[in-house]
């Protein structure tokens, strides 16, 4: 549990100390600072302490993510600290969290997602061009099999090469070397780094110990209901497909008029073979109060349990539809080819 200590103003008032774990990268710290600011605004008496850590994924920079084989590359050290009570909660990019969490942990908050899109950053010598107009055999850098497969399908005249490192490192590699004509990055990350006062998110997650009901209750106010339902459907889809860094799987969601639309796709490594389908389900809220239940690792007691259940079933159903059409065969071959590279 968290510590208690007197507030620094010396007035004798006891304030709660909440320790927040984060990766040490600049982007991770920006994300964590934004979560801390929201908590401080909601709970002015909180004293927050941010503790930075280096993860396995931060240390191994000479190997493609898809080749390392570890599912918790950017989260394991943070979860170890959570388990040892060295921190009270940790902030992640939700995409870094496996669809099955270690026992005793839960995602207590999923913040509003603003921009999940990818962005193309061109080498200065190609300024003004697009992927369509880049010269034949231009090399594009990306650490994602999913991005590479989708782009190979759309731009067969380009070549794709793995690029590792944090966002600043990858941008530096693009600018200072002639290896890449462009790199593909998360638009959200670029916006956070360049305009920290105008932050637009992919989905951020706050992970806590499931038994710490007071911490769980505290962070639950950060939940955004639409983002929670979208992420439950996405995580259920990925879990059913056993999708991860080692296979090209894509998923997109949208909530409109109380309907959750889920589009999922699987690709061969070169993008030549693919399956893509869309399904929808009602996520209209009901007034029924239910006991908190985890849905693919997420606990959101203030959001309709029925709606969460429908979102999870939607993800499973779409995955099963793709599996029935041959997705397992596509992904098995993709995994074997990736392992052999």
* Residues that are catalytic: 96
Beta bridge partners of 110: 205
Phi, psi of 189, deg, nearest 5: -65, -40
Nearest to 236 by CA among 172, 289, 308: 308
Give the sheet arrangement for strand 274-282, strand by strand. Answer: 249-256, 259-267, 274-282
- N- to C-terminal Cα distance for the chain? 46
- CB atoms < 10 A from the CB of 31, how many? 24
Q: Which residue has the tokens 């209750």?
A: 217
What is the sign, positive or negative, of the torsion defined by CA atoms of 279, 114, 53, 210?
Answer: negative
Q: Are strands 139-141 and 3-6 parallel, antiparallel or unpaired?
A: unpaired
**Separation between Cα atoms, residue 333 and residue 135, nearest integer Å:** 30
**Separation between Cα atoms, residue 251 and residue 245, nearest integer Å:** 13
Q: Which residue has the tokens 């850590």?
A: 53
Tell me the C-alpha to C-alpha distance, in Å, between residue 280 and each of 243, 251, 318: 20, 13, 9
Tell me the two tokens of residue 67.
């080749």
Query: Angle at Cα 179 formed by Cα 166 and Cα 160, nearest 5°?
Result: 80
Helix (H, G, I), strand (E, B) or coil at 97: coil
Helical pair 26-42 and 167-176, crossing angle rounded to 10 deg: 150
**Separation between Cα atoms, residue 259 and residue 252, nearest integer Å:** 14
Q: Is residue 20 a contact partner of residue 87, using CB atoms and an 8 Å limit?
A: yes
């Amino acid at each position: 549990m968290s510590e208690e200590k007197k507030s620094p103003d010396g007035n004798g008032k006891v304030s709660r100390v909440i320790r927040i774990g984060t990766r040490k990268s600049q982007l991770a710290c920006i994300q964590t600072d934004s979560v801390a600011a929201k908590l401080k605004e909601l709970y002015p008496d909180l004293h927050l302490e941010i503790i930075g850590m280096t993860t396995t994924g931060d240390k191994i920079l000479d190997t493609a993510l898809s080749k390392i084989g570890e599912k918790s590359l950017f989260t394991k050290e943070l979860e170890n600290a959570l388990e040892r009570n060295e921190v009270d909660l940790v902030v992640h990019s939700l995409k870094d969290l496996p669809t099955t969490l270690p026992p005793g942990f839960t995602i207590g908050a999923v913040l509003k997602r603003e921009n999940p899109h990818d962005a193309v950053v061109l080498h200065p010598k190609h300024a003004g061009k697009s992927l369509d107009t880049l010269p034949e055999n231009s090399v594009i850098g990306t650490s994602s099999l999913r991005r590479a497969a989708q782009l190979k399908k759309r731009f067969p005249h380009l070549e794709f090469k793995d690029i590792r490192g944090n966002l600043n490192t990858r941008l530096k590699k693009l600018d200072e070397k002639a290896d890449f004509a462009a790199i593909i990055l998360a638009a959200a990350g670029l916006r956070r780094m360049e305009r920290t006062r105008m932050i637009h998110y992919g989905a951020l997650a706050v992970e806590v110990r499931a038994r710490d009901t007071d911490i769980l209750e505290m962070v639950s106010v950060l939940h955004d209901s639409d983002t929670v339902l979208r992420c439950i459907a996405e995580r259920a889809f990925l879990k059913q497909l056993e999708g991860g860094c080692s296979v090209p799987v894509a998923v997109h969601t949208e909530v409109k008029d109380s309907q959750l639309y889920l589009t999922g796709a699987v690709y061969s490594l070169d993008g030549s073979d693919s399956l893509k389908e869309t399904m929808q389900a009602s996520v209209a809220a009901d007034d029924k109060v239910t006991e908190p239940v985890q849905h693919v690792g997420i606990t959101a007691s203030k959001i309709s349990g029925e709606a969460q259940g429908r979102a999870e079933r939607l993800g499973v159903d779409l995955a099963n539809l793709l599996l029935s059409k041959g997705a397992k065969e596509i992904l098995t071959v993709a995994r074997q080819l990736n392992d052999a590279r």
